Amino acid sequence: MAESKITVAELLSRIRESRWQLDALLASNPATPDGAWTSKDHMAHIAAWEGSALALLNGQPRMGHVGLDTKAYRTLGEDAINEHIRTRFAGNPEAEVRAQYDAVYTALIARLETMSDDDLKLSYSHYQPNDPPYNPRPVWHWIAGNTYEHYAEHTGIMRGGTS
């Protein structure tokens, strides 16, 4: 995304619209074309990363939501982290995963609704001062990447594309 600024209203609109599209696709219960991920896997994955975004905004350690400590997170690659998330929730009933998926989304939306446009411009490090090195990039980039941009990625994957 090229914008340097975004409002809370615009961010929430993008999140809600993209989530609606993802939920509509999940309702048809698709697996990925290669059969590797089920709809439950996608929901668990999205919920874990949304949880990390919520933790970010609340000044809490982010990686607990993906089931890793900071050291493991920093040493594993993205694919290994995502596989860890998938296997971590593989034995959970789909109804339980769906409840978590819905609950984390609801909590994240509620948190975003308390924020001002200026809050979105604050740096990642403002919200995560104990996560060096200092990162001056506005926090909204992480929210976008773990919500509507992430939903669009998974929608594309489930439809047989790559993004």
Is residue 139 included in any domain, yes or no?
yes
**Are 30 and 163 a contacting pair, CB within 8 Å?**
no
Cα separation of 69 and 67, whole Å? 7
pLDDT at 72: 82
Specify if 30 maps to a domain. no
Encode 27-37: b = buried (16+ Cβ within 10 Å), e = exposed: eeebebeeeeb
pLDDT at 115 over 70: yes
pLDDT, tens digit (0-9, with 9 covering 90-100), for 47-105:
999 999 999 999 998 887 778 887 888 888 888 988 989 999 989 999 999 999 999 99
Nearest to 15 by CA among 144, 159, 156: 144
Specify if 148 maps to a domain. yes
| pLDDT at site 131 | 82
pLDDT, tens digit (0-9, with 9 covering 90-100), for 127-152: 999 888 889 999 999 999 999 999 99
CA dist., res. 7 & res. 22, Å (int): 22
Q: Which domain holds residue 95?
A: 8-24+39-158
Q: 0.85 exceeded by the pTM?
A: yes
Quote the pLDDT of residue 17. 98
Residue 43 in any domain: the answer is yes
pLDDT, one tens digit per residue, over 4-50 is: 689 999 999 999 999 999 999 998 876 666 667 888 999 999 999 99
Instruction: Specify the number of domains making up the chain.
Output: 1
Residue (of 45, 3, 32, 19) closest to 162 by Cα position: 32
Residue 2: pLDDT above 60?
A: no
- Tell me how far apart the alpha carbons of residues 119 and 133 are, in angstroms, rounded to a whole number: 20
CB neighbour list of residue 5: distance below 8 Å, 6 or more residues apart = 117, 121
Tell me whether residue 33 is in a domain.
Answer: no
With respect to residue 34, please indicate whether it lies within any of the assigned structural domains. Answer: no
Task: Judge whether 29 lies within some domain.
Answer: no
Backbone region of residue 29 per phi and psi (left: phi > 0; alpha: psi in -120 to 50; beta: other values): left
- On whether the CB atoms of residues 39 and 26 are closer than 8 A, the answer is yes
CATH at residue 76: 1.20.120.450
